[in-house]
Amino acid sequence: MAAQGLSIGKVQELLRPEFGDVAISKIRFLETSGLITPERLPSGFRRYSKADVERLRYILNAQRDNFLPLKVIKENLDLIDQGIEPVMPEPVEPPRAAHLQPEPSIGGPRPQMRLTRDELLARSGLTEATLVELERQGIIRLRRGTAHYGWEAFTLAVVASRFAPWGIDARQMRILKIAADREVELIQYAVAPYNHRPERARQAIYEVAEFMMQAHAALLQVALDNARDA
């Protein structure tokens, strides 16, 4: 191991044989979450030690094999730092992932779903506590004027369930809701000149929303590429 440590790209190469889907953005996320603290050079680049790599290997194993949330992993790492060996649960089978419905185009027909609360929990794999928090954050709601959950709620519930092993909880998912709300504000600004023509305004909303989704996907890809190359 070189004295100056490893770059983040080299760390990814070392971990990839064991964790094939490990991404640089994932390593960065674990750093911002306070689980690893690589050395930062005056230039701003990160340099990882052998201990950092082993720490990452422990974290990724705990997530993949034991589905431990980041909070528990951090507590275990604190114990390790004190010389105490944490007790790890036996490896568990990953939860069965619910199948998402095909994503409709903006403004197009949506899958017809009328789910009770129990059905939503059973089909998505969410716990009651997580659903309560998602509702408190305004992320999942009943269909307007009904006592049932629709396709949107089901999609968000499944995504929340799949986010859980990565340490992304309902409070962090609120970032996505805030971003969507701001995009809606921009769409409303763009179509304001058509407000006196309701039919044209409705069409314009969906046209601009489609462009917004394309721009969002492209910007996300650029940001991920920049994170990978830094």
Provide the CATH topology of domain 8-81.
Answer: Multidrug-efflux Transporter Regulator; Chain: A; Domain 2 (1.10.1660)
Summarize pLDDT for 19-55 with one digit per residue, the tens: 887 888 888 888 888 889 999 888 878 899 999 999 9
Separation between Cα atoms, residue 152 and residue 169, nearest integer Å = 18
Would you say residue 88 has pLDDT above 70?
no
pLDDT mean across residues, the chain: 83
User: How far is the CA of 1 from the CAs of 4, 16, 50, in angstroms?
Assistant: 8, 18, 8
Q: Residue 16: in which H helix or E strand, if any?
A: none
- What does the domain layout of the chain look like in residue ranges? 8-81, 117-229
Give the mean pLDDT of 133-145.
Answer: 93
76-82 contacts, C-beta under 8 A, 24 or more apart: 77/35
Identify the residue whose tokens are 């006196």.
196
Report whether 22 contacts 60 (CB < 8 A).
yes
pLDDT at 223 over 50: yes
Question: pTM of the prediction?
Answer: 0.56
